[in-house]
Amino acid sequence: MSDETETRDRILDAARSAFLRHGTSGARMQEIADAADVNKALLHYYFRTKDRLAEAVFTREARRLLPPVLETLGSEMPLDEKVRRVVELYLEVLPEAPGLPAYVMAEMHYHPERLPAFVESLTGATPQAHGTRVRRQLDAQIAAEVEAGRIRPIATEQFMANLISLCIFPFAARPMLQLMMGHREGDFEAFVEDRRERLADFFLRSLRP
């Protein structure tokens, strides 16, 4: 049973790699089995279908990304700290996961109907509950900061969209960015390093009165 979970994890790792490189339907069960060093039949033994295997991978990856960010945004932490924390979280994890954001966004478009149940199983709460909790917390904080004259008025939706866009997009569009910027070996890593130091300030500065 240590073997059991070890094999299961090996399959998940192999599947993750294949799915991120080819997409769910582009990946081949045979390739995953080979990479996990097991037989194809074993994939079905553990996950029944390709679709469920993809779901397991998707869930495992999302669990690393969504909960910490939602928790941070919905917390009592001061607004500027939240911004720094979210930037930190994303720029820490995403460099280790090339292809993940693009894969996730594409799959979300291909199966939007699965999303609500997915988030629910992920957080233990209905999406609406999370949505409104984060939403209200940010609404209140932004209103208070505006009232105190520390930031300009901004719609909470735009605040969230801007922050998350700046964190995730460069990783999702990495091949295009590298091309546009004439990147060579290692340039992207340096770009990200620079970004880790400056992104939060860039964002916060745009909120100044």
Partner DNA sequence: GTCTATATTGTGATAGAC
Partner DNA sequence: GTCTATCACAATATAGAC
Binding site for DNA (CB under 7 A): 1, 3-4, 7, 27-30, 37-42, 44-45, 48-51
Is residue 143 involved in binding its own copies (CB under 8 A)?
no
Question: For the window 176-205, what string marks contact with its own copies as x by the rule CB under 8 A?
Answer: xx-xxxx--------x--xx--xx--xx-x
Distances (CA, A) of 59 to 8, 32, 62, 65, 125: 15, 18, 5, 10, 15
7-46 positions binding its own copies, by CB under 8 A: 20-26
Question: For the window 79-118, what string marks contact with its own copies as x by the rule CB under 8 A?
Answer: -------------------xx-xxx-xx-xxx-x--xx--
Q: If DSSP states are collapsed to H, E and C, what string results for 113-177?
A: HHHHHHHHHHHCCCHHHHHHHHHHHHHHHHHHHHHCCCCCCCCHHHHHHHHHHHHHHHHHCHHHH
Cα–Cα distance, 86 to 184 (Å, whole number): 28
Select from its own copies, DNA, none the partner in contact with residue 203, using the beta carbon and a kind-dependent cut-off of 5 to 8 Å: its own copies
CB 151 within 8 A of CB 205: no
User: Which helix or strand (DSSP H or E) is residue 95 part of?
Assistant: none
- Exposed/middle/buried for residue 135 (C-beta within 10 Å: 0-12, 13-18, 19+): middle
- C-beta closer to its own copies: residue 144 or 190: 190
Binding site for its own copies (CB under 8 A): 20-26, 70, 98-99, 101-103, 105-106, 108-110, 112, 115-116, 119, 127-128, 130-132, 134-135, 152, 154-155, 157-158, 160-162, 164-166, 168-170, 172-177, 179-182, 191, 194-195, 198-199, 202-203, 205-206, 208
